[in-house]
Chain A
Amino acid sequence: MSTSNIAPAGSNPVMDTDAFIKGLWRENPVFVQVLGMCPVLAVSNTAINALAMGVAATFVLVMSSTLVSLFRNFIPKQVRIASFILIIATFVTIVDFLIQAISLDVHKALGAFIALIVVNCIILGRAEAFASKNSLGKSILDALGMGVGFTFALLCLGIVREVLGAGTLFDIPVLGDGFQAWSIMLLPGGGFFTLGAWLLVFSIMRERKKNKAVAK
């Protein structure tokens, strides 16, 4: 949506903010690239779970991109996927321990999906498409942007599902006592519906923008 005012590529390599911003909206991993959907649907039944998953995935994304970018000239092309997967799996294991140390409740809520971050197409995708070909600074920014975009998408779902499905937001009741919660939102089906609805909303917005541009 926002074509940010970018400095021409290469002129300001470390502070190239477009590397960060594109992950938030223009190339949002969930809503635009439609990647990494398994965890988005599974752990978005409450806002706090969505946030925790987003932060965990961003951590893995940033750390993996860092290592991949650091070693990019050291790893031959033929073994790159294997190395990337090793690195990603390592940081997923690490984040698993960190979450257990910080909050057992969150760990129980996220369950196996922490481990499943390792097969999140977003992380491997960024490592392959960006971090392995770009400098450290840019890779970190790119990873951060994608991570924040991912977290944003997760929160979109999490907030809608929690408010409609339980009447609370981050465990705080927000819709009053008279509200009859839509339990369906907490069921897997609700996850599908909510994501489909968001994609529809963004799709309509894009159509409108395109029509406006054409009409000019």
Chain B
Amino acid sequence: MNQESLGFIFINACFINNFVLAYFLGICPFLGVSGSIATASRMGAAVTFVMLISSICAFGIHTLLVAIDAPYLELISYIVVIASTVQTVEMFIKKVSPTLFRQLGIFLPLITTNCAILGLALFQTNRGYNFVQCLVYALGAGAGFTIAIVIMAGLREELDLSDVPGVVRGTALALMLAGLLSLTFTGFAGLGG
């Protein structure tokens, strides 16, 4: 049973060990969807939402697998459940709010292979969080991802208007930016200590 306080879990997931900038999870959407602040924030919201749901499912599966003593089926169950969850969420949103569905567009299916979601499930299992801790962790991780991707989008929007050599444009530049951003976030270490 993990002793960490809820506040610490949130700050840890959001800033100190930011999922994108410290754990390198969710790089593909981070680089691919950070073109504009508007799309970035929507992606962040979608990811946070999926994280919350997956966190709950992962907690349930883990409890079940421990009960039947088959922990080696963990990975395969997580990935199947996450994929199905995203699929179900997508169908649900399509039915309930077609406008929202159109806005999110391609993002939802992309989230399925998003390492951040699976990483969340694996980390929370490894740390032995209880149910409430899991929820807070998912919220923190989603918030951290959103913050990172929105900042990145803002930076790239600015850079689009600047005079950058053609050879550097694109992914190489994005990675350098991400490196600077990651270094900045390193400054959060020790927060809440």
Contact = CB atoms under 8 A, between A and B. Distances in A.
Interface of A: 34-35, 37-39, 41-42, 81-82, 85-86, 89-90, 92-93, 96-97, 112, 115-116, 118-121, 124, 184, 187-193, 195-197, 199-200, 203-204, 207
A87 B59 CA distance: 23
B171 A199 contact: yes
B175 A85 contact: no
B77 to A, nearest CB: 9
By size class, the interface of chain B is 35 or more
Nearest to B186: A187
Interface stretch (B6-14, B98-106, B117-125, B133-141): B117-125
B75 interface: yes
Contacts of B170: 203
A190 B179 contact: yes
A177 to B, nearest CB: 27
Contact of B27 (A41, A81, A85, A97): A41
Contact of A38 (B26, B172, B176, B178): B26
A203 B164 CA distance: 14
B79 A118 contact: yes
Contact of A192 (B72, B75, B178): B178
B93 interface: no
Given A195-B175, A200-B167, A200-B172, A189 B28 contact: no
Contacts of B118: 115-116, 118-119
Contacts of A119: 79, 113-115, 118
Given A37-B28, A42-B24, A116-B119, A89 B171 contact: no
Given A118-B75, A199-B171, 20 more contacts: A35-B28, A85-B79, A89-B75, A89-B76, A92-B75, A93-B76, A96-B75, A112-B123, A118-B79, A187-B183, A188-B24, A189-B183, A189-B186, A192-B175, A192-B178, A193-B176, A196-B171, A196-B174, A196-B176, A207-B167
B114 to A, nearest CB: 7
A85 B179 CA distance: 31
Contacts of B25: 38, 116
